[in-house]
Structure 1
């Protein structure tokens, strides 16, 4: 056992070594300082001084969207007050979840205190600050945790400086120095200093905020932090060159670039200038890249470690202000009104939400216009080309294609991959991100780089065994069952920015080749005449034959129609893929839902059980062999199959989903299906559909609105009406679980609801028809207008005069029963709960299903 005296001596020695290291680092700071720190602004100096605060308050009063954000921040701040102070609790190697909660709480309380002067925010923030400062550490071994913690404390310290207790300020200053500054000089912690990715921007931002906040009391410790950051921070800024596209993808743009902008803005507000950081090549163009990051489906071009779902990008308000280009935030204003900004997610977008108000306070929103640019082409480390043919609502086509390599942070082996949207639906998708903790907790090593490990070890890295990360499961080409070459880089060799074609051509040979297997390999992806997508691949084999795999992931239902055709269907829409080539090929459909049941191409056995389920997805493509010394040409066209609508204008039919995509289950007692009427009058579900909607609406006040159709499954028992499970047949027709079978049996039925809250009160929906199937002449159903109890219809299978053929499209016709005599007309502006009930009143053997509903809109 170590003697206690020796133990204390050892600890003292270690502390002394740490302090000495800190001192040496500080002494090595540049002799000439970047700033005259004596001229630092008075508190509050970070992002928002007192005059800025007045301008922001004025903007909140004038801009309805800003009022929504302001109200959400204050409501959230009030909720946070009721929660206990945070405690030191790591998940795996990270404290990051705690740091982010701390940042969010402190930012929201500081904001609310400045806007309201209500002391409850000051008191609660001070309590939280003391709890955070008492942590054993801010987990500097994963320095993102430390950076975000420091930034949150710095804002609270600065924004509430005048009213914080002096003892609290002393404790905060000491914690920032001891728990953030000093650990940042230790080699085992400061990987971020030499990083060109988001770590650099986030960690340096946190440290610089801390230094600017406590400068007058801790100048000797603060100045070296800022001076080091001014040099180190050039690394991530260089990654934006030359065109502004972010190497780590849109998801990490929202992280890295947001903190980069906050760092720049804090230097400007506290010291009067960012000393040229924002003038780094490509940086001021990056707002334009992010503007193109989401398709008309609302999904991101989610290459690399990026989730698909679009989130708020408050940082775009900074770029809009700096460039005087309000088109950069035109879609953000739509997202605010759609609720994307005001949802508690514990996400990057939530905790920096005040930035939208801070950076947007001086914008002229009367001059906000939609973008007119149709293509963005960005070269650099991870080159991309992104096309959007129409910026109105969900209209038009959207294409994203990428190059690059496996040497950028968070990269996948997805070189040559593409996504494709048409009129609000994504047809070609990317599986995107798998949560790191789900892999790390199973011992999967997903970290490293080619610089760190070398090409050979990085090629064999466990990261590329993950289903979502390797090339076999992206929308790209693979040869000879090999993973892409991690040392190769795919470049954009040609772009098509005018005329009938919009898109780009990518050279894939460097990522396919290891030993010159192919003489050439290019992929051209273009939208033609703003009408259809064309993918052209040219691959020339060298001295030996080459096995080629063409792959694409989709959430649509795929069906091989013939040897050259695959039909995709989703949400009532159809996309036809036509494949042609100058050599033989075989179309294939590939599974993707459960990777643990899928044979891995690169090894014996299946993918590991640590891979996440990809529910509702599949893959498609073709396999072929290219003979030696042969140039193979492949073309795939994506053409939306226009279904000529046969319904009269302003009639909506909700048809059963075939094949069934509807939710069901023994404990699934009700379902709410949101259906959108687009700006152009089309109707479409906003999520995986429980009903396929058909119709064309011309009622102006109904355009751009969403209604919610609700069904509640019920059963009449001896004790009253009870909940029952919803069932769907293979072709999506509606039944009830719990009886002898899963149809609607005697004493089983449904209650219907229709939420028209978004609509003008003058807009009406009239229920006119209901579809019944498996309904014979002996069966009956009682249908009640629950808005008017004296209106009831007993429909019997013998009432053939009520059955009408309803033609939806040229190739889709269904039978519906006329129930217009019930007089069910529902006004907009209200949520109509239980407006109708229908119950089976036949004999014990009676059973039927519901296939659809028809409404007239006026």
Structure 2
């Protein structure tokens, strides 16, 4: 028998089983809705006629105009791209499903707003290509959920103008590639789980059911009724206070799809049947508002990335709760470009939700939140403090409990993070990409006490900001609870019980940790540990991105970006301060046994761990107190001098197809400079020119190569310490006929402000090499710098522990007024016969 015949028999068998299960599903049920009264197409999220309110909102809110423009620009770019193809990455098709949702949502949105047929035609091409896939990969059902949502949105929004053949193709694909496999128990295990899979997969299936209900009523009703029962499970995880067990990253994922599910049921039937009233669900918006600090980083416990992302669901919550303050942080993120950029999590695929859910809001009237602490109990208890909601201001503390046995958990019970202003001092490594471990055969999802999961450097307790005893793992059967919260004028924080997490053999009578911000001035960590019949070795650990130095037996000094922090340690038993390496895990011994960490572990460049070791005698109650107090800044630059320094370690954009980079640089209301995105440059300096306060300017670099055909694009290279090179030549440095064009966008600045480029840092440029620099707005001004031209080299002391050698380029007369855009104002190219060099930074003077 031929393979195609076997597959045909299997499909027919699956179809028969599916029909039987659908009939059983519908037998005897009392419908939750009057399905004959479903709203006409379009019925998902934005019903017919609501485009006018959305357009008015875009005109009323400049931030929404930014989002609308971005969506249409992406849609225009999609017009020339080929349709997606079926291509799995390991066991996942998820990347393709997410691209499908981005494409179909953006194209459908653009068509509904503009009625330009080019978007309709491109969406229809994509629809047919996706529906012709061999499957939507039901063995990893998230892929099905997102794909089904993608095609359903486009089908519904474009319904009146789609070809009948396309609509038939979509209905067939939804039935065969989404509905049918959702009745296969091995694939549809999500129906009985309380995590984000349930939210995402049920949402996608319900979108399919709502889209094709009038044509496939029996199957669609079965999907909806089943989802209404199944979807209760993930909603239980929000109880009682709204904190999400899997952390803010997964809140954004799971909750976004929950919100889309509720919003679609409301738009189609007028009600979500009370699902959104589940205990803690609506309160979870407050949890999410607190989840990131002024540093721009999440409290990234468990499998959560550190960098904050867009959160379109907050606009739904703000509207439903009549609390616009919830979106105060989101407005800043829109203005800073976070909403309008591609993100590793692909969260921008649901960006149109911002405009749909926020269409009744007036963003100019939004006020700051007033609460300073969020405390949530439940599965993963957390307490989060934020003393000031102004952008980049105040102090931020997050501390958590929970259990390592929970979904996506780490052995991080008792961990904390701490921000002061835009800098994070106590950090969490956060998640490592799953595929980097799965591809190496790591037993990643086994949560048992002695599983390989806990040998992962970022996952075990030894490398989190918590306590460990006797070099042993945390007890996965233990659970840390918040036993007290503190919210008064002098103290904001919480106290946790860690005893069951640390104990295996009744080693401890008591183990508690209290973390609190005192008088809006400093962080205080108090640990109380009482032993039983045997002495205990205690390890106190904290991860930091700062430079750490032991000053004396009780003090560690931290330094980063010109700021300092002092950790003061005190205890009533002896202890020894330690600094532990964390950058290259595969080189380190794991203290759980006599072996090194596996080479599958991700590097943690630019980090170090610190703390102390102590032996607590038997039957002894020991108290440990650690305070984190700000020191004096050690910035040595003069006022109004700005240094853009190579980020060491490299956090910058680079790649063979990355031809340019734009770095938005913000100026705070007090004159502090900061990167708005993940830094392509470390930014040092402070300005006192008030017309610069609360403004943004943009620095752009374009990598170029001179060829017989002219100047062409080439890839940006960055060394491990972040210094600029060029891809594609004899080396990854800047080789002969390679170089950069610089641009400076000052349109947001007042015309009274002047910014001058005064210095450039060249490294590895010896006496036989040369670089030609040209003022392209005044080509008569140029200079040739060689490695033996020492008179032009100046040493600039940036901080007390950091200095750079720069070349004085002020003779080129590169100076610009605010209000101007200055594309390609300077070129510098390697014009020597041999050798290569790199660029380490730039100096600007503000006047």
Tell me if both proteins adopt one fold, taking TM over 0.5 as the criterion: yes
Residue equivalent to 1:857: 846
Asked if structure 1 preserves the Cα contact closer than 8 Å seen for 2:61 and 2:364, the reply is no
1:169 shift after superposition = 2.0
Structure 1 residues 239, 857: CA separation in 2 closer, same or farther (over 3 Å shift)? same
Relative to structure 2, which stretch is displaced further, 87-96 or 760-769? 760-769
Secondary structure of the 2:596 match is: coil
Residue equivalent to 2:586: 596
Residue equivalent to 2:565: 575
1:786 shift after superposition = 7.6
Secondary structure of the 2:484 match is: strand
Kindly indicate whether residue 189 of structure 2 is the aligned counterpart of residue 198 of structure 1: no
Asked if structure 2 preserves the Cα contact closer than 8 Å seen for 1:550 and 1:621, the reply is yes
Instruction: Map 1:692-707 onto structure 2 (within 5 A).
Output: 693-706=684-697
Say which of 148, 155, 158 aligns to 2:153: 155
Secondary structure of the 2:599 match is: coil
For residues 647 and 503 of structure 1, the distance between their equivalents in structure 2, rounded to whole angstroms, comes to: 36
1:564 shift after superposition = 1.5
Structure 1 residues 121, 682: CA separation in 2 closer, same or farther (over 3 Å shift)? closer
Residue equivalent to 1:680: 670
Question: How many residue pairs are counted as aligned between the two chains?
Answer: 831
Residue equivalent to 2:532: 542
1:262 shift after superposition = 0.5
1:184 shift after superposition = 1.2
Structure 1 residues 659, 442: CA separation in 2 closer, same or farther (over 3 Å shift)? closer
Structure 1 residues 12, 625: CA separation in 2 closer, same or farther (over 3 Å shift)? same
Residue equivalent to 1:110: 108
Say which of 182, 185, 188 aligns to 2:186: 188
Say which of 461, 476, 480 aligns to 1:471: 461
Instruction: Map 1:488-567 onto structure 2 (within 5 A).
Output: 488-567=478-557
Structure 1 residues 10, 59: CA separation in 2 closer, same or farther (over 3 Å shift)? closer
Asked if structure 1 preserves the Cα contact closer than 8 Å seen for 2:136 and 2:144, the reply is yes
Instruction: Map 1:152-551 onto structure 2 (within 5 A).
Output: 152-345=150-343, 347-448=345-446, 458-551=448-541
Normalised by the size of structure 2, how large is the TM-score?
Answer: 0.87
Secondary structure of the 2:206 match is: helix
1:321 shift after superposition = 0.7
Asked if structure 2 preserves the Cα contact closer than 8 Å seen for 1:803 and 1:818, the reply is yes
Asked if structure 1 preserves the Cα contact closer than 8 Å seen for 2:562 and 2:633, the reply is no
Residue equivalent to 1:708: 699
For residues 282 and 480 of structure 1, the distance between their equivalents in structure 2, rounded to whole angstroms, comes to: 38
Residue equivalent to 1:755: 744
1:852 shift after superposition = 8.8
Secondary structure of the 1:616 match is: coil
For residues 79 and 163 of structure 2, the distance between their equivalents in structure 1, rounded to whole angstroms, comes to: 19
For residues 569 and 431 of structure 1, the distance between their equivalents in structure 2, rounded to whole angstroms, comes to: 19
For residues 371 and 11 of structure 2, the distance between their equivalents in structure 1, rounded to whole angstroms, comes to: 62
Structure 1's unaligned 5+ residue stretches are 450-457, 737-742, 842-847
Relative to structure 2, which stretch is displaced further, 430-439 or 637-646? 637-646
Asked if structure 2 preserves the Cα contact closer than 8 Å seen for 1:756 and 1:827, the reply is no
For residues 763 and 346 of structure 2, the distance between their equivalents in structure 1, rounded to whole angstroms, comes to: 49
Structure 1 residues 822, 343: CA separation in 2 closer, same or farther (over 3 Å shift)? closer
For residues 124 and 237 of structure 1, the distance between their equivalents in structure 2, rounded to whole angstroms, comes to: 37
1:819 shift after superposition = 8.8
Residue equivalent to 1:24: 24
Asked if structure 2 preserves the Cα contact closer than 8 Å seen for 1:22 and 1:182, the reply is no
For residues 546 and 266 of structure 1, the distance between their equivalents in structure 2, rounded to whole angstroms, comes to: 56
Normalised by the size of structure 1, how large is the TM-score?
Answer: 0.86
Asked if structure 2 preserves the Cα contact closer than 8 Å seen for 1:765 and 1:855, the reply is yes
Structure 1 residues 642, 214: CA separation in 2 closer, same or farther (over 3 Å shift)? same
1:684 shift after superposition = 4.1
1:646 shift after superposition = 7.5
Structure 1 residues 713, 396: CA separation in 2 closer, same or farther (over 3 Å shift)? farther
Kindly indicate whether residue 617 of structure 2 is the aligned counterpart of residue 619 of structure 1: no
Structure 1 residues 167, 527: CA separation in 2 closer, same or farther (over 3 Å shift)? same
Structure 1 residues 475, 39: CA separation in 2 closer, same or farther (over 3 Å shift)? same
Instruction: Map 1:739-750 onto structure 2 (within 5 A).
Output: none
Secondary structure of the 2:512 match is: strand
Residue equivalent to 2:641: 652
Which string of whole-angstrom CA distances, capped at 9 and with x for unpartnered residues, describes residues 786-807 of structure 1?
Answer: 866888999999x999999999
Instruction: Map 1:94-133 onto structure 2 (within 5 A).
Output: 94-133=92-131
Structure 1 residues 805, 724: CA separation in 2 closer, same or farther (over 3 Å shift)? same
Residue equivalent to 1:89: 87
1:658 shift after superposition = 12
Secondary structure of the 1:494 match is: strand
Which string of whole-angstrom CA distances, capped at 9 and with x for unpartnered residues, describes residues 637-672 of structure 1?
Answer: 1112122778765x315397899989999x999998
1:754 shift after superposition = 6.6
Kindly indicate whether residue 620 of structure 2 is the aligned counterpart of residue 630 of structure 1: yes
1:206 shift after superposition = 0.9
Instruction: Map 1:818-837 onto structure 2 (within 5 A).
Output: 825-828=815-818, 829-831=820-822, 833=824
Structure 1 residues 852, 701: CA separation in 2 closer, same or farther (over 3 Å shift)? closer
Asked if structure 2 preserves the Cα contact closer than 8 Å seen for 1:751 and 1:834, the reply is no
Structure 1 residues 13, 34: CA separation in 2 closer, same or farther (over 3 Å shift)? closer
Asked if structure 2 preserves the Cα contact closer than 8 Å seen for 1:100 and 1:346, the reply is no
Structure 2's unaligned 5+ residue stretches are 727-732
1:833 shift after superposition = 4.8
Relative to structure 2, which stretch is displaced further, 483-492 or 364-373? 364-373
Structure 1 residues 262, 528: CA separation in 2 closer, same or farther (over 3 Å shift)? same
Asked if structure 1 preserves the Cα contact closer than 8 Å seen for 2:562 and 2:799, the reply is no
For residues 783 and 83 of structure 2, the distance between their equivalents in structure 1, rounded to whole angstroms, comes to: 60
1:825 shift after superposition = 3.8
For residues 687 and 521 of structure 2, the distance between their equivalents in structure 1, rounded to whole angstroms, comes to: 21
For residues 540 and 340 of structure 2, the distance between their equivalents in structure 1, rounded to whole angstroms, comes to: 41
1:408 shift after superposition = 2.5
For residues 645 and 201 of structure 1, the distance between their equivalents in structure 2, rounded to whole angstroms, comes to: 49
For residues 652 and 8 of structure 2, the distance between their equivalents in structure 1, rounded to whole angstroms, comes to: 64
Structure 1 residues 748, 620: CA separation in 2 closer, same or farther (over 3 Å shift)? farther
Asked if structure 1 preserves the Cα contact closer than 8 Å seen for 2:303 and 2:408, the reply is yes
1:492 shift after superposition = 0.8
For residues 71 and 671 of structure 1, the distance between their equivalents in structure 2, rounded to whole angstroms, comes to: 20
Asked if structure 2 preserves the Cα contact closer than 8 Å seen for 1:734 and 1:851, the reply is yes
For residues 80 and 504 of structure 1, the distance between their equivalents in structure 2, rounded to whole angstroms, comes to: 49
Relative to structure 2, which stretch is displaced further, 364-373 or 253-262? 364-373
Relative to structure 2, which stretch is displaced further, 171-180 or 218-227? 171-180
Asked if structure 1 preserves the Cα contact closer than 8 Å seen for 2:673 and 2:683, the reply is no
1:79 shift after superposition = 2.1
Structure 1 residues 467, 751: CA separation in 2 closer, same or farther (over 3 Å shift)? closer
Secondary structure of the 1:137 match is: coil
For residues 765 and 377 of structure 1, the distance between their equivalents in structure 2, rounded to whole angstroms, comes to: 46
